[in-house]
């Protein structure tokens, strides 16, 4: 295993072939926390947490998932395959123990790491996307997402078409992309996307997600549309969750279903916060909670 510096991150060779890209933020000597980014997304999503991580003594490690950023696409991968990949990263970076923080579409990956890896000390979730196989969860999502996930379970071309269309917006029409993302958002989220620094980072992150094409995000759509493949009740580490009550991407009704399915979940529902605004509002709280389990 060799790590090499590449562009705005590094990459690690995986035993089965291919590479995993990652970036680090915060305190290099701090307690390690692994960030599972939104979907689609990349390692760049750790950047807004750099200063809070430094202040809290957290070493934040943000990997690219397969087919996004610097990470090689893996055909037919499963969510259940992710712990093996992260085990390679943990050995390569000498991480005997670490916390895990999942954001939005990274929820499934954070949860499977907490379920499968003894190295994981605690699980944090922000703006979580629950398993769509939980009763009544899919029905709570916005109509466009509900239709996409329902069809992607059975028709691969639907997921690929949606990812290809989004990639085109990301690469060629940033104004159209912003209008697309802001559609039907609560004011707190829509206003955030008008902030130049926030928008520039989000745009760079999405471009990085599609830097090698639409295959990675398309496959991830199919994975998130299906059952995750493990029992949430068997997660044996402390779980912390923060969710905005104004979130329209993942409405609060879906999160309450999720909370009921999680053992020992300490949930904080935050009034007047949405899907995008909750991370900057409560990211430091999540890092502080995970840091308690060093």
In this predicted structure, what is the pLDDT of residue 16? 83
What is the per-residue pLDDT across 85-94, written as a single tens digit (0 to 9) for each?
Answer: 999 999 999 9
Q: Tokens in use for 180? A: 């697309």
- pLDDT band of 4, cuts 50, 70, 90: very low
* % of the chain surpassing 70 pLDDT: 97
Q: Which residue has the tokens 């039907």?
A: 184
Contact by Cβ (8 Å): 119, 90: yes
What is the per-residue pLDDT across 161-172, written as a single tens digit (0 to 9) for each?
Answer: 999 999 999 999
What is the per-residue pLDDT across 201-233, written as a single tens digit (0 to 9) for each?
Answer: 999 999 999 999 999 999 999 999 999 999 999
- pLDDT band of 294, cuts 50, 70, 90: confident
Contact by Cβ (8 Å): 82, 20: no
Q: Tokens in use for 289? A: 């909670």
Q: How far is 1 from 10, CA to CA, in rounded Å? A: 13
pLDDT of residue 8 exceeding 90, the answer is no
């Amino acid at each position: 295993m060799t790590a090499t510096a590449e562009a705005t991150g590094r990459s690690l060779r995986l035993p089965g072939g291919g590479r995993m890209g990652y970036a680090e933020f915060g305190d290099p000597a701090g307690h390690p926390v692994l960030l599972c980014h939104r979907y689609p997304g990349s390692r760049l999503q750790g950047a807004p947490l750099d200063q809070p991580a430094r202040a809290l003594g957290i070493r934040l490690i943000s990997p690219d998932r397969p087919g996004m950023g610097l990470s090689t696409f893996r055909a037919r991968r499963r969510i259940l395959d992710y712990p093996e990949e992260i085990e390679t990263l943990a050995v390569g970076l000498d991480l005997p123990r670490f916390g895990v923080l999942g954001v939005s579409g990274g929820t499934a990956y954070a949860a499977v790491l907490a379920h499968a890896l003894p190295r994981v000390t605690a699980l944090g979730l922000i703006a979580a996307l629950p398993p769509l196989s939980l009763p009544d969860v899919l029905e709570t999502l916005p109509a466009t997402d509900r239709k996409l996930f329902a069809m992607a379970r059975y028709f691969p071309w639907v997921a690929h078409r949606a990812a290809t269309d989004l990639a085109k917006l990301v690469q060629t029409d940033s104004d159209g992309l912003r209008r697309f993302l802001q559609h039907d958002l609560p004011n707190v989220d829509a206003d955030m996307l008008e902030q130049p620094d926030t928008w520039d980072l989000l745009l760079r992150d999405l471009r990085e997600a599609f830097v090698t094409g639409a295959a990675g995000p398309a496959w991830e759509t199919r994975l998130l549309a299906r059952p995750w493949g493990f029992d949430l009740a068997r997660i044996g580490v402390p779980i912390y969750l923060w969710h905005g009550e104004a979130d329209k991407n993942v409405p609060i009704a879906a999160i309450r279903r999720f909370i009921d399915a999680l053992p020992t979940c300490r949930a904080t529902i935050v009034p007047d916060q949405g899907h995008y605004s909750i991370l900057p509002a409560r990211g430091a709280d999540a890092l502080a909670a995970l840091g308690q389990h060093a």
